[in-house]
């Protein structure tokens, strides 16, 4: 093995930790060892130094011929891991090209010239060329006795071999002969990869092969893998009964699990390496969440279906109703990701989720309520299920040793409060006498009808009165916000005292904001304290805009606050500019003198959407605002609710934005869903408001879309 390895001038090379790579030959020999511990230590060293964090050095390039020599010798073990190492080394250059993708549109981009890049970058491209030149050595390994090698080379061939058509034929020929289930799934994945990389040349044929696998194989996991790859590379070729196929696969997987556990993975040594540590952490994580391969495959399919919400919802409903408790638990998180990021075509997914509140497993109940908190603005049809759930606790004590139960009941209250269901107000008033004030309490109160939340006023008033106004706390801020949302005139003296005694700017801002909500009639006695702050020098310049807002709210004197608003519009601080725009939204036409400053903000690109909305609010002229909204609609998706509300108030002047409004309502995604992967939850309340205002815009033009707000 490794003929000529000692003839290489390793001392002149480097890797991540030293300027001399003389330790690399020992790592290579370690990969060829018959001792599994030594092999793992050597592989860890290769990733830790020679290919550190994906980088490629001159020593990395020098290793490539020896790594190929190793994988071609069936006398050695763990060659699949070495194939993976070679693929990772070759893919570094791909990652660089992806990082540069789009830079050619930059007027300052002078072209991508490898010769002008740093040394490590030249090594990355040299490594990719060297691996691709030798990729033919992977083809014979499709029949290697080691299934891990066969699985690894399938992906390597799909990504690195210069003859994709030849690779496609070799993979298709191997598929019927493959006896290892995991390797068969790798072959299906490789076929999907080829279809993605060469859609014109191979896409149609690969889709046909994957369809045959979906319909023809008895292995449920292989069927699911093929279905997932089909969803990714050719979503238009998915069978209409995709959800039924996937649910049947999950049923078969469950029945197979009941017959016995799947074959155990190959035994791996425990070593003092990062590789070993990560492997054990991963295994422990999966055990703690009770995960299995079937759950992974289902989640991957759900992700790849993307905007096929019809299929995803059918799949979700089936999983939420599964007889397997483990499948139901996993489906709850799947429901949260789907329904907070996409608009469901009907109410069935939410109702299926709410039905799990009757599940015997308290963990499932808690998980369902946790997701319903995100989905509450779109989940009014499930209020009765949540009420019924709370009623089951009426005669069950929430003992100190059942924290899950207490938490679950609290979340049920939160769901109903966010829906504005005032049936919970009496019980909520009793609870708020003792518990920590919820962080979302002000939002809950705003969701109720004004008179419906009134019983909360005395409780919150007494809680705030018992605090030291000079010492800010989370409870204090939340109580101030909540009393501002309630707008009970009886709380004005207390809020005025809090404002007068406040020693921290956060308390001052909270009290000013709360008093501003009352208006000039109800909070007149707070005016002297507000004027004292306005005329004194105790408030920093960046916070004067908050005093200005309160002064205007209590007096209606626009002229007095215009200088402060102008100054804040020119501030370098986003928070100060945003506060000024919030005040402008209240000023209306009386703030017409601020139009030049708003035009300046638009020109400078400082929150142009909000500035354009403010310009329309103070001038009533849509000619300048609508073009900005049309431009910013795609650029700043998070601002769409405000822009839609503005368009809805414009009437016929909103006509240029109609194509955007129609496209928004036709989209299956919530407006801030950028297709990020992971355990994301999106702002459903803002999206529901956006849909409502978009429908108002269309109604003004006599259009009434069929899609409901969800």
* pLDDT tens sequence across 160-192: 999 999 999 999 999 999 999 999 999 999 999
pLDDT at 13 over 80: yes
How does pLDDT run across 352-379, given as a tens digit for each residue? Answer: 999 999 998 888 999 999 999 999 888 7
Give mean pLDDT, residues 413-437: 89
Whole-number Å distance between alpha carbons of 26 and 33: 10
Mean pLDDT of 204-230: 92
On whether both 96 and 214 belong to a single domain, the answer is: no
Read off the pLDDT of each residue in 344-348 and give the average, rounded to a whole number.
92
Judged by average pLDDT, the poorest of 3-17, 397-411, 571-585 is 397-411
Q: Region 529-533: what's the mean pLDDT?
A: 94
State the pLDDT at residue 138. 96
**What's the confidence (pLDDT) of residue 174?**
96
pLDDT value of position 38? 93
**Residue 448 resides in a domain:** no
Spatial distance between the Cα atoms of 40 and 599, rounded to a whole number of angstroms: 63
Angle 86-91-97 from CA coordinates, rounded to 5°:
160
Number of folded domains that form the chain:
3
- 192 and 94 assigned to the same domain: no
pLDDT, position 669: 96
Burial of 320 (0-12, 13-18, 19+ CB in 10 A): buried
Residue 108: pLDDT band (50, 70, 90) is very low
- Same structural domain, 51 and 159: no
- 450: confidence class by pLDDT, cuts 50, 70, 90: confident
Percent of the chain with pLDDT over 90: 66
In a domain? residue 459: no
Domain presence at residue 43: yes
Q: Which residues share a beta bridge with 342?
A: 669
Residues 94 and 181 in one domain: no
pLDDT band with cut points at 50, 70 and 90 for residue 277 = low
Residue 90: the pLDDT is 94
Kindly report the CATH number assigned to the domain that includes residue 252. Answer: 1.25.40
Encoded tokens for 565 = 């608003």
The predicted pLDDT at position 98 comes to 76
Instruction: Supply the pLDDT for residue 206.
Output: 95
Asked whether residue 299 is domain-assigned, the answer is no
Answer yes or no: do 57 and 169 share one domain: no
**pLDDT band with cut points at 50, 70 and 90 for residue 119:** confident
| Whether this model's pTM surpasses 0.85 | no
Between 58 and 108, the more confident residue is 58
Tokens representing 103 are 């830079």
Alpha-carbon span 418 to 380, nearest angstrom: 10
Determine the structural domain holding residue 45 and report its residue range.
1-133
Distances (CA, A) of 319 to 324, 510, 664: 9, 45, 29
Alpha helix (H) ranges present in 517-657?
Answer: 519-522, 527-535, 544-555, 558-569, 574-587, 595-604, 608-619, 625-635, 640-650
Q: Report pLDDT for 525.
A: 92
Is residue 218 scored above 90 in pLDDT?
no
On whether both 167 and 264 belong to a single domain, the answer is yes
Are residues 80 and 180 both part of a single domain?
A: no
Q: Would residue 365 count as lying in a domain? A: no
- Is position 503 within any domain? no
Residue 400: pLDDT band with limits 50, 70, 90? very low
Report the pLDDT averaged over residues 43-54. Answer: 91
Please indicate, yes or no, whether residues 126 and 178 belong to a single structural domain of this protein: no
- 269 — pLDDT class (breaks 50, 70, 90): confident
Q: What is the mean pLDDT of the chain?
A: 89
Dihedral sign from CA coordinates of 299, 301, 306, 312: negative
- Helices and strands, counts by H and E, the chain: 36, 0
Model confidence at 117, pLDDT cuts 50, 70, 90, reads low
Examine residue 319 and state whether it is found in any structural domain, yes or no: no
Instruction: pLDDT band for 110, please (50, 70, 90 cuts).
Output: very low
Q: In Å, what is the CA distance from 297 to each residue of 221, 247, 292, 300?
A: 7, 12, 9, 5
């Amino acid at each position: 093995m490794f003929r000529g390895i000692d003839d290489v001038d390793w001392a002149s090379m480097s890797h991540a930790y030293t300027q001399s790579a003389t330790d690399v030959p020992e790592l290579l020999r370690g990969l060829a060892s018959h001792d599994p511990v030594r092999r793992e230590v050597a592989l860890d060293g290769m990733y830790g130094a020679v290919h550190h964090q994906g980088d490629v050095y001159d020593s990395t390039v020098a290793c490539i011929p020896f790594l190929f020599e190793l994988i071609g010798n069936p006398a050695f073990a763990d060659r699949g891991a070495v194939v993976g190492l070679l693929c990772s080394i070759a893919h570094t250059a791909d990652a660089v090209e992806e990082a540069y993708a789009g830079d050619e549109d930059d007027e300052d981009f002078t072209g991508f010239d490898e010769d002008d890049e740093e040394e490590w970058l030249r090594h990355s491209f040299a490594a990719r060329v060297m691996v691709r030149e030798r990729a033919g050595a992977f083809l014979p390994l499709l029949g290697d006795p080691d299934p891990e090698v066969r699985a690894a080379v399938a992906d390597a061939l799909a990504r690195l071999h210069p003859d994709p058509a030849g690779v496609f034929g070799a993979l298709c020929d191997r598929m019927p002969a493959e006896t290892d289930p995991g390797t068969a799934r790798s072959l299906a994945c490789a076929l999907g990869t080829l279809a993605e990389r060469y859609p014109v040349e191979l896409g149609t044929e690969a889709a046909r092969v994957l369809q045959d696998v979906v319909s023809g194989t008895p292995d449920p996991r292989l069927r699911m893998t093929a279905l997932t790859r089909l969803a990714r590379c050719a979503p238009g070729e998915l069978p209409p009964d995709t959800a039924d196929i996937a649910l049947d696969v999950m049923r078969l997987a469950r029945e197979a699990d009941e017959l016995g556990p799947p074959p155990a993975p190959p035994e791996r040594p425990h070593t003092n390496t990062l590789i070993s540590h990560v492997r054990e952490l991963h295994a422990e994580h999966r055990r703690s969440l009770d995960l299995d391969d079937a759950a992974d495959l289902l989640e991957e399919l759900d992700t790849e279906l993307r905007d096929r919400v019809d299929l995803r919802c059918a799949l979700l409903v089936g999983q939420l109703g599964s007889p397997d408790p483990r499948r139901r638990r996993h489906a709850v998180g799947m429901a949260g990701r789907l329904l907070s990021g996409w608009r469901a075509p009907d109410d069935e997914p939410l109702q299926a989720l709410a039905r799990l509140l009757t599940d015997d497993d308290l963990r499932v109940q808690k998980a369902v309520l946790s997701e319903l908190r995100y989905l509450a603005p779109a989940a009014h049809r499930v209020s009765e299920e949540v009420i019924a759930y709370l009623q089951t606790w009426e005669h069950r004590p929430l003992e100190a040793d059942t924290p899950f139960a207490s938490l679950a009941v609290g979340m049920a209250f939160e769901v109903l409060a966010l829906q504005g269901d005032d049936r919970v107000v009496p019980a909520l008033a009793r609870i708020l006498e003792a518990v920590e004030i919820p962080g979302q309490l002000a939002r809950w109160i705003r969701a109720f009808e004004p008179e419906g939340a009134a019983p909360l006023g005395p409780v919150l008033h007494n809680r705030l009165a018992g605090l030291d106004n000079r010492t800010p706390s989370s409870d204090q801020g939340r109580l101030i916000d909540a009393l501002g949302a309630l707008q009970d005139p009886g709380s004005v003296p207390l809020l005025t005292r809090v404002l007068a005694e406040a020693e921290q700017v956060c308390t001052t801002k909270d009290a000013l904001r709360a008093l501003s909500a009352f208006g000039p009639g109800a909070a007149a006695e707070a005016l002297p304290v507000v004027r004292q702050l306005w005329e004194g020098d105790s408030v920093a310049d960046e916070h004067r805009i908050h005093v200005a807002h309160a002064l205007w709210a209590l007096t209606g004197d626009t002229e007095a606050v215009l200088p402060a608003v102008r100054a804040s519009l020119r501030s370098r601080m986003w928070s100060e500019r945003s506060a000024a725009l919030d005040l402008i939204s209240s000023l209306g036409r009386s703030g017409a003198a601020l139009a030049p400053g708003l035009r300046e903000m638009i020109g400078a690109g400082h929150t142009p959407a909000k500035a354009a909305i403010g310009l329309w609010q103070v001038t009533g002229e849509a000619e300048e605002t609508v073009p900005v909204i049309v431009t910013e609609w795609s650029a700043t998706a998070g601002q769409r609710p405000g822009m839609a509300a503005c368009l809805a108030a414009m009437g016929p002047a909103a006509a240029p934005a109609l194509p955007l409004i129609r496209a928004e309502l036709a989209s299956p995604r919530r407006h801030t869903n950028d297709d990020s992967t992971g355990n994301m939850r999106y702002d459903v309340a803002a999206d529901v408001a956006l849909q409502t205002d978009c429908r108002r815009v269309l109604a003004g033009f006599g259009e009434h879309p069929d899609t409901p707000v969800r």
